[in-house]
A and B are shown apart, each in its own frame.
Chain A
């Protein structure tokens, strides 16, 4: 046990910079995923055909094992290859579904009386979307972002397999060396990041929830 803590403390700065790399991967992937999934969710509210397609495709990506998805992306031109960019693409594909689904659900499970009176007041569909549906859906959308963030922090450890860096580097190295201490150097910060993100986003979500 003591040797494990020794490893952790002696490699402090290395672990810290890997954590930063990890966080960068996650933040970039989340920003891109949000920018894709939230507008797409808004778009599919009134379009059943597009809705089935978008939710279907997003679900398919979710079913591909993450290591396989990273592997599949390597030979793809422009977005593929070895390194960070490919990893971010894969993480985005994973993160889209929870955000997309929650955006759609949040925008549609609104009290029909509210939507009826919005329409009867003479609001246009886009005014209803921006001024009624979206503000009322924020908490549910954020819950989706929270789920996606926690998943992404975990999946991002696998990104090390295609040379994207981050905390997964320690985990893969530890597995190869059969060394618990090295694995933990990646696993503990990843777990702490996930818990912290979950906690902070839950706080924001609670503030957004309108009784």
Chain B
């Protein structure tokens, strides 16, 4: 575990002694005294059971939530100093069920952030085409469809395309493949892993599925009751001697072994 505060500007995301939910009685899970440095290009998977605080950590990064104590730095600047609107346009975000706008076409959904950023129409159109191709959807077939005319897997692909459209250096993903059938999920995990390698983004990925974490992560951070209990690359993660790690490893065994 190497969590020395690097403080250098190269750290993309850094939590410094972050606590959330100290004084408020919100439904959001409490996290306490989290310190974590996420380097550029990492695919960091936040693993944990429901209620362990992984989504809370994710939402602290783009200031959908504000910490009760401590600070989060994005590209060296505290999120409280960022204009939240600019911060969020700088960070891609994908959630379960994609959260696509039902009244927008696929092209309008994908082009949303470029449009908010006032790109020229022709540039947006080219970018949308490029993004759809990137996620494996034929633009001529899918551009003008509405989200309801897509399968779950296709919607999720559009969700990824939308998150990447403005070319943000950081991508946050909250169980994006959680609602998909196992076959589609595996397919998208494989494709997304290849995509992540090519794109060189810093990715923070939330899941409760250890197998998914092993497929995608360059580093796995395990949360339990709002605290980090393990932090290791996938290869070493399984060897960690901690009851919560063993609990997750056991879940792996009962569901038929790790994916390749």
Contact = CB atoms under 8 A, between A and B. Distances in A.
Contact of A117 (B84, B95, B103, B146): B95
Residue of B98, B99, B112 most packed against chain A (CB within 10 A): B99
B216 interface: no
Interface stretch (A5-13, A88-96, A121-129, A179-187): A121-129
A57 interface: no
B103 A136 contact: yes
A116 B99 contact: yes
Interface residues of A, number: 18
Given A116-B95, A122-B89, A211-B148, A135 B103 contact: yes
Contacts of A117: 93, 95, 98-100
B62 A120 contact: yes
Contact of A118 (B96, B101, B146): B101
Contacts of B85: 122-124
Nearest to B108: A131
Interface string A197-211: 000000000000011
Interface residues of B, number: 27
Interface in B85-132: 85-91, 93, 95-103, 112-113, 116
B26 to A, nearest CB: 15
Interface in A105-140: 111, 113-114, 116-124, 127, 132, 135-136
Given A121-B93, A122-B113, A123-B116, A114 B99 contact: yes
Chain B at the A interface: SS class: mixed
A148 B88 CA distance: 41
Contacts of B240: none
B97 A121 contact: no
B195 interface: no
B64 interface: yes
A120 B93 contact: yes
B88 A122 contact: yes
Contacts of B91: 120
A118 B112 CA distance: 9
A120 B113 CA distance: 10
Contacts of B102: 114, 136, 210-211
Interface string B152-169: 000000000010000000
Contacts of A210: 102-103, 146, 148
A113 B89 contact: no
B99 A113 contact: yes
A127 B118 CA distance: 13
Given A119-B64, A136-B103, A210-B103, A113 B88 contact: no
Interface of B: 62, 64, 84-91, 93, 95-103, 112-113, 116, 146, 148, 162, 172
Q: Which 6 A-B pairs have the closest CB atoms?
A: A117-B99, A122-B89, A122-B88, A120-B93, A113-B99, A135-B103
Given A114-B99, A114-B101, A211-B102, 6 more contacts: A114-B100, A117-B100, A118-B99, A122-B87, A122-B88, A210-B146
